[in-house]
Amino acid sequence: MLRSSSTLAAMRTSRSLKFDPVDAAREVWKSKGWERAASGMAAITSIMRAHQLFLAKANEVVRPFDLTFARYEVLAWLAWNADCGSLSLSQIAERLQVTPATVTNAIDRLEADDLVRRVPHPSDARTTLAEITPRGRRTVVAATAELNSRVFEAVNLTKAEMESLIRLLVKIRVEAGDFSTNGTAL
Amino acid sequence: MLRSSSTLAAMRTSRSLKFDPVDAAREVWKSKGWERAASGMAAITSIMRAHQLFLAKANEVVRPFDLTFARYEVLAWLAWNADCGSLSLSQIAERLQVTPATVTNAIDRLEADDLVRRVPHPSDARTTLAEITPRGRRTVVAATAELNSRVFEAVNLTKAEMESLIRLLVKIRVEAGDFSTNGTAL
């Protein structure tokens, strides 16, 4: 599974540091006597920095589709994880960990681009559903192909490392309340 | 190192899902025949979700200090990783992976709160330095104590798991251009 990942390597910019800033911060924490917090600080800061890098890359890849990665995620949920291609706005907020206002803005923009349309809920008049359009389906398929080849397949970890990373992140996501497992083994 | 982490557990909200959305997406990817991309998608999406959770928690913890986590990070770099407590604005942008405009906004706000002041570079008239004030030093120490106890020490991983997570993230951060290692062993 070790692949050359020239695309991600191309993310290197002149802003690339000559030292690991997380490691530098960790040394500070140790020198201050904050040993107990040092590794947690390093883990969380590493997550935040990795997030920044991948979000920037993902946004760049979906920009030609007039999407942000956040709007892409809305489309992907509607296309593939929703009954009949529709979800209520509050279901979208829940799944994407964002505020209702953020969902409203995303849906406004997707609707203006004819990728999504608002439809009334068949049995609950107070609920509005977002439904993906045929154009939305074509767009999410095309954007996914680009994300797969340029971002997701380019993660340079072995299969075992990838599983290990996903498993460790599940553990802290559950602890932080991302989802509940009802005693499912991690 | 296994600790009860009541603080992070308290992040659980009614928004907490009853299923792992990353795993659900991964099943979709597999069912579409995108096997090669599925684990990378799951890893990156996990990083993004963990980021959201920890950033929300860190912002909440530093809010009583009139800080965001981003402004806290500027103060921490100035307090502990800068010669004489000052860095140029471009050095701050580089270390925090943000745009110059973002740094300017952060420094404006920190200066208004008397936590940082702008000073001329002693030998380069075109460069402005940000210097932490005595009030800035007191604030970053107090905010760090809160972050350490309520966020960083509350990460519920064993010591070995924490090291594994940090190491895996180093690998993908280097690949994505966060910093260069000059052949240093990972």
Tell me what pLDDT residue B13 has: 42
Tell me what pLDDT residue B152 has: 97
Tell me what pLDDT residue A10 has: 38
- Compare CB distances from A17 to B52, B94, B154 and report the shortest one's residue: B94
Q: Is A68 on the interface with B (CB under 8 A)?
A: no
Q: Is A6 on the interface with B (CB under 8 A)?
A: no
ipTM of the complex: 0.87
Average pLDDT of chain B is 88
- The order of strands in the sheet holding B128-132 is B86-88, B128-132, B116-120
Q: Which pLDDT tens digit goes with each residue over A162-179?
A: 999 999 999 999 988 888
Q: Which pLDDT tens digit goes with each residue over B159-170?
A: 999 999 999 999
Inter-chain residue contact B51 with A47, CB threshold 8 Å: yes
Name the one residue in this structure whose structure tokens are 């192909």: A145
Between helix A69-80 and helix A89-96 the angle, nearest 10°, is 120
Nearest CA in chain B to A177: B12
Surface-to-core class of residue A109, CB atoms within 10 Å of its CB (0-12 exposed, 13-18 middle, 19+ buried): middle
Tell me what pLDDT residue B180 has: 85
Mean pLDDT for the stretch of residues B22-29: 94
Tell me what pLDDT residue B112 has: 98
Distances in Å between the Cα of B177 and the Cα atoms of B6, B129, B172 are 35, 26, 9
Q: Which pLDDT tens digit goes with each residue over A128-168?
A: 999 999 999 999 999 999 999 999 999 989 999 999 999 99
Residues contacting B94, CB < 8 A, separation 6+: A15, A17
Q: Please tell me which residue, A186 or A156, carries the higher pLDDT value.
A: A156
Residues of chain A positioned with their CB less than 8 A from the CB of B164:
164, 168
Tell me what pLDDT residue A15 has: 55
Nearest CA in chain B to A13: B177
Tell me what pLDDT residue B182 has: 63
Check pLDDT > 80 for residue B185: no
Q: Is B93 on the interface with A (CB under 8 A)?
A: yes
Residues of chain B positioned with their CB less than 8 A from the CB of A165:
43, 46, 165, 168-169
Q: Is B90 on the interface with A (CB under 8 A)?
A: no
Quick one: which of A126, A87, A123 has its CA closest to A107? A87
Nearest CA in chain B to A184: B19
Confidence band, pLDDT 50/70/90 cuts, at residue B151? very high
Inter-chain residue contact B20 with A179, CB threshold 8 Å: yes
- C-alpha span between B105 and B132 (Å, rounded): 16
Tell me what pLDDT residue B32 has: 95
Counting one residue from A and one from B, how many pairs have CB atoms under 8 Å apart?
257
Q: Which pLDDT tens digit goes with each residue over A64-95?
A: 999 999 999 999 999 998 777 889 999 999 88
- C-alpha span between A82 and A159 (Å, rounded): 29
- C-alpha span between B4 and B7 (Å, rounded): 9
pLDDT > 90: what percent of chain B? 72
Residues of chain A positioned with their CB less than 8 A from the CB of B54:
44, 47-48, 176
pTM: 0.87
- Compare CB distances from A19 to B161, B175, B179 and report the shortest one's residue: B179
Average pLDDT of chain A is 88
Check pLDDT > 90 for residue A38: yes
Check pLDDT > 80 for residue A4: no
Surface-to-core class of residue A126, CB atoms within 10 Å of its CB (0-12 exposed, 13-18 middle, 19+ buried): exposed
Nearest CA in chain B to A15: B94
Tell me what pLDDT residue B125 has: 85
Residues of chain A positioned with their CB less than 8 A from the CB of B163:
39
Q: Which pLDDT tens digit goes with each residue over B122-148?
A: 888 888 999 999 999 999 999 999 999
- The token pair that represents A35 in the structure block: 């040993």
Exposure string over B48-65, b if 16+ CB within 10 A, otherwise e = bbbbbbbbbbbeebbeeb
Q: Please tell me which residue, A9 or A177, carries the higher pLDDT value.
A: A177
Q: Which pLDDT tens digit goes with each residue over B52-102?
A: 999 999 999 999 999 999 999 999 999 998 777 889 999 999 888 888 899
